[in-house]
Amino acid sequence: MAGRLSGFRILILEAREEAQFARLLAEQGAEVLQCPMFTIRDAPDAAPVEDWIRRCIRTPHDDLVLTTGEGLRRLVTAARRIGLDQAFITAIGKSRRLARGPKPGKALREIGLEATITTDKPTSEGILETLARLDLWGHRVGLQLYPDRDHGALLGKIQAQGASVDPVLPYIYDTSAAETHIVRAIEEMAEGRIDAVALTSSGQVRRLVEVARIHRCEDRLRAGLERTSIASVGPVVSDELKAYGLRTDITPANNVYFMKPLISAMAISLNAPEG
């Protein structure tokens, strides 16, 4: 039902799907303050990514671990630039495809494929738990990495199962232009001008705290979050909040961790009578 968030001012820190998230909130009547955490850019050196694509086509991986939908889309776009997108998609289809949660699965469906296995938890730990149940001895495992995370432990544990790992990092985060906007958003919360902040990735939590520390306004951030409802898309984000001593006020019901259920949970919580 439209208008459920009328009169509420919502801060969003989404980067990958910011426009869609803002539109969905606006359709519910919210005033949306957009503050991208970073800009996503292709890897600055295209050659390693293109070489990885060619290796994948020449000898498809036994197993392909996809950690983000953004990463798969960037790989397909890179393959298209060198005229190999259809061959690349065919090669992916020959691998056992492991998706880290629902987002890579959605990206696979966009190219006519399905995830063979989806992790129960959309985390690196979820990948390891899933792979631990599989026989990887002698397998060649393609691993799509994502920025802002040390993947050494993940690579090491896959290798410890007797597999060789072929990693690729198809995109980077450019954070240089965003800090001014982040500091302004912190001030908006501290002044009580935000009803709720909606967090959709653990990286957003880390980036908020990092920028606050760099600009010596962590006290303002924590004061702002004390007077702002904190909405988390799911347990990964909530765990990150907890690691920084922060709480979660709102999370989707029924373990459905997407934007629309998060918006519904926000509408219910923000409209609930105080008492």
Domains and CATH numbers, the chain: 9-38+175-271 (3.40.50.10090), 41-173 (3.40.50.10090)
Output the pLDDT for position 15.
Answer: 61
Taking residue 73's Cβ as centre, other Cβ atoms within 10 Å add up to 18
Using left for φ > 0, alpha for ψ between -120 and 50, and beta otherwise, residue 256 falls in: beta
Output the pLDDT for position 275.
Answer: 54
Which residue in the block uniquely carries the two structure tokens 């090491």?
A: 156
Output the pLDDT for position 20.
Answer: 83
Output the pLDDT for position 253.
Answer: 83
d(CA 71, CA 91) in angstroms, rounded, equals 16
| One-letter identity of residue 19 | A
> DSSP letter at 195?
S
- Please name every residue paired with 232 in a beta bridge, in sequence order, or none if there are none: 199
Taking residue 177's Cβ as centre, other Cβ atoms within 10 Å add up to 10
Output the pLDDT for position 210.
Answer: 92
Query: What's the Cα-to-Cα distance from 72 to each of 66, 141, 149, 196, 246, rounded to whole Å?
Result: 7, 15, 17, 31, 32
Per-residue confidence in pLDDT tens, the chain, 275 aa: 568 999 999 999 866 667 788 889 999 999 999 987 777 889 999 999 999 999 999 999 999 999 999 999 999 999 999 999 999 999 999 999 999 988 899 999 999 999 999 998 888 888 999 999 999 999 999 999 988 777 888 899 999 999 999 999 999 987 776 788 899 999 999 999 999 999 988 888 998 999 999 999 999 999 999 999 999 999 989 999 999 999 999 999 877 768 889 999 999 999 987 65
Output the pLDDT for position 123.
Answer: 81
